[in-house]
Chain A
Amino acid sequence: MEKIRFLKNNANQMRRLIVEMLAKAGSGHPGGSLSATEILACLFFEVMRHDPKNPGWEDRDRFHLSKGHCCPALYAALALNGYFPKEELMHLRCLGAKLQGHPDRRTPGVSMASGSLGKGLSVALGMALAGKMDKKDYRVYCVMGDGEIQEGNIWEAAMAAAHFKTDNLCGILDYNRFQIDGRTEDIMNLEPVVNKWESFGWHVIECDGHNIELLIEAFHQAKGIQQKPTLIVAHTVKGKGVSFMEHVVDFHGRAPTTKEQEIAFKELEDIERDESQL
């Protein structure tokens, strides 16, 4: 219970930082950052083996944010873990900044860049194959967007990961049902998404992507799956936690204004207060 409260608290802090850094930067992608917050909170504060003092540690679990535009969530998780001072977040997207508009290796904790969608699962597959080859027990986590998996390269990687039986690979689909131009079901339908991945040879777990307990359980289950990669289909809400951003396609790629930040902060405080009273 203590653990769950700790993770919820970190997710809340991440949300505030996401809103704040984006408002400060004046551009960026809040929607998919907020939908992925619990996923990243679970990974970076509980599930993954990693050492902020030694970002290049050979035995660390690997994390790759394939949907690179949601890096504010990653930056928040890294900062709260102590990979770099929190002040860096306020220089997001500035000239010379450690925190680029999309993930870049100049950021401590980022080992591979992303931003052009659809390639991350292959990158993660490479990491998983290297782990197998070296008989290391690290796991590889790769977060993908639902719009992103419309890319052909994702399915090349999906096929290959099953073929090579990379059971040390765990994909997470942030199934927030929105992409830039609208709802995924209108732009390019993904359903039946679970069947697709299963038919490609993956073990698939579905869960509420904002429910910490269920996510932790899913990650735990994935660790036990042998001979197959696992995909966690995390059902999420784009813009989660900020009422006027939830399910609003405009906030895919628009930063909040300072006014909107204030409102968002109030809402997030309310959520925190409610949770702490539980």
Chain B
Amino acid sequence: MEKLYARDLYGQTLLELGKKDPRVVVLDADLSGSTRTAIFGKEFPERFFNVGVAEQNLMATAAGLSSCGKIVFASTFAMFATARPLDQIRNTVCYNNCNVKIVATHGGITVGEDGASHQAIEDVGFLRPIPNIRIIVPCDAWEARAAVLAAYETEGPFYIRLGRSKARTVTQKPPFELGKGQTIEDGRDVALVACGIMVNEALQARDVLKEQGISAAVINMPTIKPVDEDLIVRMAERFGKIVVCEEHQVIGGLYSAVCEVLARTRPVRVAAVAVDNKFGQSGNPEELMKHYGLTPGGIADKAVNLCRQTSGN
């Protein structure tokens, strides 16, 4: 199956948007080659600002530009796009409801060899409590493109998290809709709710589970905020158990979002396949995924356990 860099499509999509809309402005903080914003910068130097290694300035300048009618995309690595300028994002970008789209690359543990300092696995958790922001973790390059287009078309702040590595294409043209999850594969026994590259892992876990006589549905949940409450509740009602899969700490991300919905609507057992309150380390992406249990096998184990625990109900 096709594998693509989501950030490649991000760069190309920026270029398209830049051609059709002079309001589109792009900012980067010395990582424009990696984030691919350089593609835009080359074509539109007068609408591209590299602010250097200065992420606080990146976000607050983006806010200022947006206050003058610009649609501003601000990019750097997910670690530096969230942790360092959190105040600028909270108090300037989000409080003012600025039309600033933070598109961060190199999110998650699969950043790999650079190690824990560069592995953004708390980024969604940093931002999720902040009002006004919408948070999207696309599952592949095409969904990343769709998310970028949705952010462009929708007024207000966004955080879109892309990975460093190539992502296997899950669907060529995913029916991405802001704030909606989609059932990609249906099932009878358990729901696997996933975002980002974990969607692909969940699809493989479905095959593993099938061999064990368990029929799993796979739900792609790219919008973490506002999360698709209706779909989550429906899944809980139908299956009575859910496994959430994400390349993020178990605290603060999609697992938290799902549990928050279910705790006040339809409490059911929810298991997490996520980084279990630990820092990452160096290694290649596959090794790391394995080490932290972010694998089809890891998902299947959680699903089997959950089915056992709830079989009496």
Contact = CB atoms under 8 A, between A and B. Distances in A.
Interface of A: 58, 62, 64, 105, 111-113, 115-116, 119-120, 122-131, 133-134, 152-153, 156-157, 159-160, 163-164
Given A113-B92, A113-B95, A153 B56 contact: yes
Contacts, number: 98
Given A122-B57, A126-B60, A133 B46 contact: yes
A64 B47 CA distance: 23
B91 A115 contact: yes
Interface stretch (B64-72, B184-192, B234-242, B271-279): B64-72
Interface string B77-117: 00000000001100110011100000000000000000000
B81 to A, nearest CB: 15
A160 B61 contact: yes
Nearest to B47: A133
B100 to A, nearest CB: 10
Contacts of A120: 60
B54 interface: yes
B25 interface: yes
Interface residues of B, number: 29
A126 B70 CA distance: 10
Contacts of B51: 156, 160
Contacts of B60: 119-120, 122-123, 126, 153, 157
A159 B52 CA distance: 10
A269 B70 CA distance: 47
Contacts of A111: 67
Nearest to A153: B56
Most buried by B among A126, A127, A133, A163: A126
Contacts of A127: 64-65, 67-68
Interface of B: 25, 46-47, 49, 51-52, 54, 56-57, 59-70, 72, 87-88, 91-92, 95-97
Contacts of A112: 63-64, 67, 92, 96
Nearest to A151: B56
A211 B69 CA distance: 36
Nearest to A138: B68
A53 B51 CA distance: 36
A126 B66 contact: yes
A128 B66 CA distance: 11
A105 B93 CA distance: 12
Given A119-B60, A122-B59, A157-B60, 17 more contacts: A105-B96, A111-B67, A112-B63, A112-B67, A116-B91, A123-B63, A123-B67, A124-B64, A128-B64, A129-B64, A130-B67, A130-B68, A130-B69, A131-B68, A156-B52, A160-B52, A163-B52
Contacts of B46: 133
Given A112-B67, A127-B64, A119 B56 contact: yes
A120 B88 CA distance: 10
Contact of A126 (B47, B52, B62, B97): B62
B70 A130 contact: yes
A123 B96 CA distance: 11
Nearest to B59: A122
Contacts of A157: 57, 60-61
Top 6 nearest A-B pairs (CB, nearest first) are A126-B64, A122-B60, A130-B68, A156-B57, A156-B54, A126-B65
Contacts of A163: 52
A130 B65 contact: yes
B64 A125 contact: yes
Most buried by A among B56, B59, B68: B68
Contacts of A156: 51-52, 54, 56-57
Given A112-B96, A113-B95, A160 B66 contact: no
A64 B67 CA distance: 11
A153 B57 contact: yes
Most buried by B among A62, A131, A134, A160: A160
A85 to B, nearest CB: 25
29 contacts: A58-B69, A62-B68, A64-B64, A111-B67, A112-B63, A113-B95, A116-B87, A122-B56, A122-B61, A122-B63, A122-B64, A123-B61, A123-B64, A125-B57, A125-B64, A127-B64, A127-B67, A129-B64, A130-B64, A130-B65, A130-B68, A130-B69, A130-B70, A153-B60, A156-B52, A157-B60, A157-B61, A160-B61, A164-B49
A130 B69 CA distance: 8
A259 B68 CA distance: 44
Most buried by A among B47, B64, B67, B96: B64
A74 B38 CA distance: 40
Contacts of A126: 60-68, 72
Nearest to B68: A130
Contacts of B64: 64, 112, 122-130
A35 B304 CA distance: 68
A235 B70 CA distance: 36
B25 A133 contact: yes
Nearest to A64: B64
Contacts of A123: 60-61, 63-64, 67, 92
